[in-house]
Amino acid sequence: MRSKKINNSIITLIFCLVALCTAASAVAQSPENGSGVSLIPQPAKLVLKKGSFQVNAATKIFVGTKNDELKGIGQLLAQEIQRTAGVLPTVVQKEPSGKASNFIQLTLQQAPDTLGKEGYVLRVSPACITLAANMPNGVFLGTQTLRQLLPIQKVSAPVSIPSLEIVDKPRYQWRGMHLDVTRHFYPVEFVKKYIDYLAMHKMNTFHWHLTDDQGWRIEIKKYPKLTEVGAWRDSTLIGHYWDLPQTYKKERHGGFYTQDEIREVVKYAEERYINVVPEIEMPGHALAALTAYPELSCTGGPFHVESKWGIFHDVFCAGNEQTFTFLEDVLTEVMALFPSKVIHVGGDESPKTRWKECPRCQARMTAEGLKDEHELQSYFVQRIEKFVNSKGRTIIGWDEILEGGLAPNAYVMSWRGTKGGIAAAKEKHYVVMTPGTHLYFDHYQGARDLEPTAIHGYSPLSKVYAYDPTPSELTKEEQKYILGAQANIWTEYITTEKHLEYMAMPRMAALSEVLWTPASQKDWESFKDRMQQQYKRYEALGINYARSAFDVRQQLDVDLAARNAIVSLATDAANVKVYYTLDGSQPGTSAMLYTKPFILSKSATIKAASFLEGQLAGKVSTRTFDAHKGFAQPVTILTTMHPSYANKSNLVDGLYGSTDQTDGHWTGFYGTDMEAVIDLGQVKTVSTLSTSFMQNIGYRIFLPNEVVFSVSEDGKEFKKVKVISNANPAAAEGILTHDVTAKITPVKARFVKVLAKNIGPSPAKYPSAGQKTWLMADEIKVE
């Protein structure tokens, strides 16, 4: 029977190839040349042909005899054709006859072995479509390409699919997205929708973060209080963690997935060839579990399911045998639900405070010959690993599991940059790269003043696309241990499904191309062009994607010697026109059209926006350039700047910092005052002096206690012209920037001195009480 099937398949292939060859000669084209083919991720090889295949009411999908996996894939494809073309092809479980036409064939018999498990060959001719792969995984991934060749908006059949040939396979074997459902809970139906988003971007791994301090989200039969108690918190932090005073929404929040619901999600993902990796946090991020079972802690509690975010001192007790019994029981039930070879055990952000004070933990260290608490964590993780390995599975953990000694068989997920991943690969451990610098999709993707509240960071579409998961520091042999990468979505500040979609898309599209397309074929300009169609696909599917790519980034490069600024305007979108104004008015199509960088030598408020086909495409961005009397003048610092924030030019560059102290605009003083002198070059009349400061109490950045403005004609004898003792008159405690301004009787001066006094140790009412504090200063403006 097998030889007969092969012969039929070969006859069908020959028939399709004849149809291809008898069409006009093939021409290799890029997808952005007007052909209408726009694929993301970009295939490894794409050759466009002349002619097209017509999908109509008579089109059938052949999936081979008795192949239920291909039948399932065929049915999903048929549903997609129905959604876009209005006809539902019949899925036929047999091979097409040699004379058949107007069909789509899904087959496992015509793909070269070099394509591996997930590669595929897609051939479209006027007579038929053949999608071949070595494994069903490849066939499914090929249907995601075919799906992009269908109309975006629903039309009436017949529908044309351009003739082409694609030979394709992924660059990496781990192509993932993470979802945190602990900080904010998401129901099963949305989790399935999220999996659909992964599938359409050719992702194959769903990392499901199920337990943390703020909630336990998976039913464990042996420990019912985990969900009866641990799945619910009585309130939730409002606003940003660093907004002070902290306030809370006094409303019960939570939820969990029953084991039946877990099975349902896992099956749904399996049908889309996505592996679900569960994460059960240990030894830290465990307060939800400890609230339910406080005897597993070092102190015995009591505890509560956390209402705010952060890192907490109470963790699983490493000296208590009951802890390991509990975790082994939990993992036994987890592994029964998740067939994944890899089980995530967390291992991150676990303070050692309680272990240092715990007699049982100290006794464990003595008994095991462990020199410190880092080695105790290594003991903890290695003990869990032995149990998981005994069940035929492998653990993966965040890169903190490297500390104290890495478990022998563990995979490492490198999130604190790339160093952890590099170190693990050099030790011949498999690695998944997920650095916060590029792949934390809970970070801002546009200017902070234009985006919804996020945790911090900045990862726009272009930055994600530029990422390469394989560090150049590794040898060719070591690079084999880089399995791939994933992006993480932590949900402290993401409270709704629409907001989550906004944070995921379109950055997921950029990551999909990073992980799929050969590095040599990545092309940012081509990607931007192809994204125009992807945005339309998102819209057709009702996805609330971010349009931050259409927002204008303003780059001002100040030339202090020339006393001017070079202004560059850019977006992450294709085919847009950027218009701008310099007087603070709203830009429209009658404003100045940006064509190339331009020079500013006078003060300006720049407002810029992108337009697509004459319509506003993004949000309006604003930057201020202030060419005041002190701009670009020599500045001398009389106190000690912190090495991380030691650019004194920030004080006279005409630019103003944001509420992000790492944006490159702040000069920092740690535990000391700021004293700066500006030389205006000649005696001038001065009537207004001001300095910008930042406050972020969570980072121990405080406004100054006092600001003293002084002037001098000779730089030796200074006269105080204003002392401002209350730099924060509103007593605001939030994250802010604040200008301390002194309007004075006009005075002649060549030198201006500003002394800003640090408040000293952090006040007693804050968690950082008694610690050194920061003073962050920006522009010293002289008028």
List the catalytic residue out of 196, 329, 349, 675.
Answer: 349
Catalytic residue among 178, 201, 285, 456: 285
| CA atoms of 609 and 578, how far apart (whole Å) | 6
> Cα 173–176–177 angle (5° rounding)?
175
Tokens of 320: 């208590």
Residue 256 CA to residue 223 CA, distance in Å, equals 14
Q: How many CB atoms lie within 10 A of CB 771?
A: 11
**What token pair was written down for 762?**
């952090």
Tokens of 629: 């009397």
- How many whole angstroms separate alpha carbon 494 and alpha carbon 781? 38
Residue of 88, 126, 128, 127 whose CA lies nearest to 107: 128
Bridge partner residues of 625 (DSSP): 604
What is the chain's Cα-based Rg? Answer: 30
Omega into 158 within 30° of 0, i.e. cis?
yes
Residue type, 173: Q
Gap between the Cα atoms of 500 and 493, Å rounded:
9
Of 39, 41, 171, 199, the closest CA to residue 115 belongs to: 171
Distance of CA 18 to the CA centre of its chain: 46
Contact 781, 626 (CB under 8 A): yes
Rounded to the nearest 10°, the torsion over CA 711, 713, 714, 716 is -30
Cβ-Cβ contacts under 8 Å for 57 (sequence gap 6 or more): 87, 157
Vertex 668: Cα angle to 667 and 670 (nearest 5): 165
Q: Give the bridge partners for 736, in sequence order.
A: 695
* Alpha-carbon span 766 to 705, nearest angstrom: 16
Which of 32, 180, 212, 478 is the catalytic position? 212
Residue 756 CB burial class (10 angstroms; 0-12, 13-18, ≥19): buried
Cis preceding-peptide flag for 634 (omega within 30 of 0): no
User: Can you read off the two tokens belonging to residue 303?
Assistant: 């505890």
Whether the Cβ atoms of residue 517 and residue 465 lie closer than 8 Å to each other: no
Helix axes 321-337 and 259-270, enclosed angle (nearest 10): 50
Residue partners of 104: CB distance under 8 A and separation at least 6: 59, 60, 61, 62, 74, 77, 89, 128, 129, 130, 131, 146
State the angle between helix axes of 359-368 and 373-390 in degrees (0 to 180), rounded to the nearest 10.
70
CA distance 312 to 241: 14
Determine whether 349 is an active site residue.
yes
DSSP state of 90: E
368 is catalytic: no
Residues 6+ apart with CB under 8 A from 21: none
Query: For this structure, is 372 an active site residue?
Result: no
d(CA 580, CA 568): 11
CB 646 within 8 A of CB 748: no
Q: Residue 209: which residues within 8 A CB-CB, separation 6 or more?
A: 178, 179, 180, 181, 182, 279, 281, 344, 490
Tell me the sheet residues that pair with 737.
694
Tokens of 98: 């040699």
Token readout for 226 is 């985990």
Grouping H, G, I as helix, E, B as strand and the rest as coil, residue 124 is strand
> How far apart are alpha carbons 415 and 489 in whole angstroms?
12
Residue identified by tokens 């993992």 is 331
Catalytic residues: 212, 285, 349
